[in-house]
Structure 1
Amino acid sequence: MQTQENSTNELRRTMKTRHLFMISLGGVIGSGLFLGTGYTINQAGPIGAILSFIVGGLIMYLTMLCLGELSVAMPVSGSFQTYTTKFIGPATGFTLGWLYWLGWAVTVALEFLSSGQLMQRWFPHSPVWMWCAIFALLLFTLNALSARAFGEAEFWFASIKVVAIILFIFLGAGALFGVIHMGGGQKAPFFSNYVANGVFPHGITALLITMITVNFSFQGTELIGIAAGESEDPEKTIPRSIKQTVWRTLFFFVLAVAVLAGLIPAEKAGVVESPFVVVFDSIGIPYAADIMNFVILTALLSVANSGLYAATRMLYALSKEKMASQVLAKVSKRGVPFNALLITLGVALLSLLSSVFAEKTVFVWLLSIAGLGAQVGWISITASQIAFRRKFLRQGGKVEDLKFKTPFYPILPIVGLTLNCVVLISLAFDSEQRMALYCGVPFAVACYIIYHLKVKKHHEQLKSNEQELQLYSNKKMVI
């Protein structure tokens, strides 16, 4: 593989709106939707599950509005890490960048592991590690070719998921209202399952806990911001992609959950492996389990593909901000930060190794930190937008000059920031999610300490040298 760096060490703007849109969907639609919705319906009840997804969608919408303003004003690959460094503080930007990078690197490992386990349905005697190696090589190749190759692969990965969800919504709705006959002599349930056990069968507490899980299932939409540095005409592509992503993600999630909740009784929803398989089976679609196994496999690989891309660009951004080795900023002649890609995949594979040798300790800790990274990222997006707008206006900028504006400033950004902080704090009240705080908080504290002890002086010196060089270059141009 060629690793010759280009003359400027800058990424290339080669991705179109459809790539950005599918990259974002690729990071969102994964096993959480296909496998985890049954648990949400079981705990929150049908009405509660739908409400949870609507609230999760609202938080996503507010966060993406803030990201839109920042990404159009400053379309850089570092996205919210760069914004946090610039508008909140370099120590916070350093901590966020490493937390987010590690989170996605570990997520990639988890997706490889889950994909290998899925393959055992068709090849029961094959080792999981073999499939992990095959998928790692495939995604590494796609990411190493170019950003355009990655975007094209993600477009088709995500398209399979989207088609499956649309088919499910139409067929499921047909079965729900008796247009399509269900097997086994079952009658169309209509609205009976929605009201069978009351609005909140396990109380308001269960609803709040599922809201935490649901909010995490929407995370991945922020990948639009990371891809902004490689998108064609960001002033047009980013706002369009954000609008498409928000409304279509809400459409897919809320309608799919509404159909599932109507077709499967809440008490049964939490004990089935995939509620989608149950619905397809009851409608009489042949090989329903195999079809869904393939769809879930593509969903997992899609998330891994997006995660590998996101983590690589975050590492590249940290290097550009002088917060990581300058070697990681080197870009191949194809416009790919090759060294950052190698390191990210290497850490993902080491995480995968820990799932075998330290499954109940190291791997659990890594997964917990991974769950925290994206939520902290969303908090930083809303906080950075508030700080950016304040600084922009203080320096004499006019709101009408912004190509993309978060409406009703500062009300909506503050609401978004508050809701994101509430979700983070709520982790302490969920026994299954609490480990994220136990592992994530010490990791964040360690990052702050490392920054102030080892990185700060070097970072400030390099930044100062860079500014002096820029000033010297400008003087030469004037002469």
Structure 2
Amino acid sequence: MNLRENHSSHELKRTMKTRHIFMISLGGVIGSGLFLGSGFTISQAGPAGAILSYIVGGFIMFLTMLCLGELSVAMPVSGSFQTYTTKFIGPGTGFALGWLYWLGWSVTVALEFLAAGQLMQRWFPDAPVWIWSAVFAVLLFLLNALSARAFGEAEFWFASIKIVAILMFIGLGGAAMFGLIDMSGSHSAPFFSNFTSHGLLPNGFAALVTTMIAVNFSFQGTELIGIAAGESEEPEKTIPKSIKQTVWRTLFFFVLAIFVLSGLIPMEKAGVIESPFVVVFDSIGIPYAADLMNFVILTALLSVANSGLYAGTRMLYAMSKEKMASPFLTRVNKRGVPINALCFTIGIALLSLLSGFFAEETVFMWLLSVAGLGAQVGWISITASQIAFRRRFIREGGKTSDLKFKTPLYPVLPIVGLLLNVSVLVSLAFDPAQRLALYLGVPFVGACYLIYHLKIKKAREQDVMLEHEIELAENKKMVI
């Protein structure tokens, strides 16, 4: 096999369109956090506080995605922010970030399989959860193994179901809120009564901060736009368009849905019901409301798992290309899918899933805690990398006008985004429910740094030197 053939066997294919990229990012964001967890947010922060939490979380997302847009258009690679971190901050930091982010999505995929299997028990109570988890694992593995476009197409339809459900909810719920539709058991439309009955922050500022942490995590997944950039047809066109669509439409879906929920369900009831969406659809008189929402939540879980499996696979592939993981993981099949990285990622996801059945209170809980850190550290790296990239770009003689996508108001907005993302990470220490993530995540990152400097760094430098020598030899042959 010559060098050109060997090179092509390790490259991804650019087959995804704008609609695929857009839906991939939405697929990673709109999940059980909105459909199931929104009631808890309202009960803690109050109606107005819940809306404020989502607006602030959306603002942090907006700043982060602006930074990602500049980086991914300038360098559309599958490794995305891990590659940028390696290049502009440091390879040790890039190594730790990559493995943390990969582990986070691998465990999240396991969690989604487990939750999806539990949802199926509503319709098939006699079938064990593990059977459904296995069925969904095989289904999503095949979708990801087929091609990047097949994955994108599946994610398009998964996300479409969620969006249709949210739009139906906003339309019908809004009509019920203002008396255009009668709600069963209600003698009059609530209008804004739930917003005025408890004041702005009924449980104080501390409750607002706690919910903001959870809400910020619920927006994570939008960074998948950067990872998918390496397989988009025209990244300089698709990435900016996808980022704008994702930010504004995500804010629209989340904020309006929370506004309607807060207007229809009193805050004291919101935190004790399984899904506020089911309660609203049921009270409006939508037939089979519980079954309908069970199906929507199931597709939401599978959508997140689908996106997570894609993200984890591409991150592992990118680290292998960066000489930070086994070269075995760079192998790409004829359809442009890094098949070895995919098999390894779903293998770790299934091992994590087993711990969910046999060590739920220990190993699985530890894994979930570490998983929560991956995306947040990723967002921090995105904003920090953009600042470092722009500084180097200008220092090396580049002109800002040459950038096809620019983060506005540099360096103010990137610095604000970096500080806000760091503050979210630090605030985990003040939330007892999230503190375990820091206790486990910090040693994990420290171990990654140690492994890099003791083992990876020297081998990586040798590989780079060898590649350089081969390139020189090839160039000399061409001259002769």
TM above 0.5: yes
What is the correspondence of 1:156-195 to structure 2 with a 5 Å cutoff?
156-195=157-196
Residue 92 of structure 1 corresponds to 93
Counterpart secondary structure, 1:360: helix
Residue 434 of structure 2 corresponds to 433
For 1:43 and 1:436, the matched residues in 2 are separated by: 22
The answer to whether the 8 Å contact 1:6/1:331 transfers is: no
- The Cα shift of 1:465 comes to 2.0
Deviations, residues 175-232 of structure 1 (Å, cap 9, x unaligned): 0000111112432100000111111010000001100000000000000000000000
Deviations, residues 99-128 of structure 1 (Å, cap 9, x unaligned): 000000000000000000000000011100
Residue 328 of structure 1 corresponds to 329
Closer/same/farther in 2, CA of residues 49 and 474 from structure 1, 3 Å limit: farther
- The Cα shift of 1:475 comes to 4.8
In the alignment, does 2:466 pair up with 1:457?
no
In the alignment, does 2:228 pair up with 1:227?
yes
Letter in 2 for 1:428: A
- The Cα shift of 1:470 comes to 3.2
Residue 289 of structure 1 corresponds to 290
Residue 373 of structure 1 corresponds to 374
For 1:420 and 1:55, the matched residues in 2 are separated by: 11
Counterpart secondary structure, 1:124: coil
In the alignment, does 2:410 pair up with 1:409?
yes
For 1:6 and 1:296, the matched residues in 2 are separated by: 42
The answer to whether the 8 Å contact 1:71/1:79 transfers is: yes
Counterpart secondary structure, 1:273: coil
In the alignment, does 2:331 pair up with 1:339?
no
Deviations, residues 353-386 of structure 1 (Å, cap 9, x unaligned): 0112211111011000110000000000000000
What is the correspondence of 1:41-190 to structure 2 with a 5 Å cutoff?
41-190=42-191
Deviations, residues 73-107 of structure 1 (Å, cap 9, x unaligned): 00000000000000000000000000000000000
What is the correspondence of 1:248-287 to structure 2 with a 5 Å cutoff?
248-287=249-288
Letter in 1 for 2:382: I
- The Cα shift of 1:477 comes to 4.7
- The Cα shift of 1:474 comes to 4.3
- The Cα shift of 1:471 comes to 4.0
The answer to whether the 8 Å contact 2:39/2:270 transfers is: yes
The answer to whether the 8 Å contact 2:92/2:452 transfers is: yes
Letter in 2 for 1:297: L
Listed as ranges, the gaps of 5+ residues in structure 1 are none
Letter in 1 for 2:456: V
In the superposition, the TM-score normalised over structure 2's length comes to: 0.98
The answer to whether the 8 Å contact 2:9/2:333 transfers is: no
Closer/same/farther in 2, CA of residues 343 and 142 from structure 1, 3 Å limit: same
Counterpart secondary structure, 1:214: helix
The answer to whether the 8 Å contact 1:427/1:437 transfers is: yes
Closer/same/farther in 2, CA of residues 5 and 117 from structure 1, 3 Å limit: farther
Deviations, residues 294-344 of structure 1 (Å, cap 9, x unaligned): 000000000000000000000000100000000000100110000000000
The answer to whether the 8 Å contact 2:144/2:150 transfers is: yes
For 2:232 and 2:451, the matched residues in 1 are separated by: 33
The answer to whether the 8 Å contact 1:5/1:333 transfers is: no
Listed as ranges, the gaps of 5+ residues in structure 2 are none
Letter in 2 for 1:377: G
In the superposition, the TM-score normalised over structure 1's length comes to: 0.98
For 2:342 and 2:360, the matched residues in 1 are separated by: 25
Count of residue correspondences: 476
- The Cα shift of 1:56 comes to 0.2
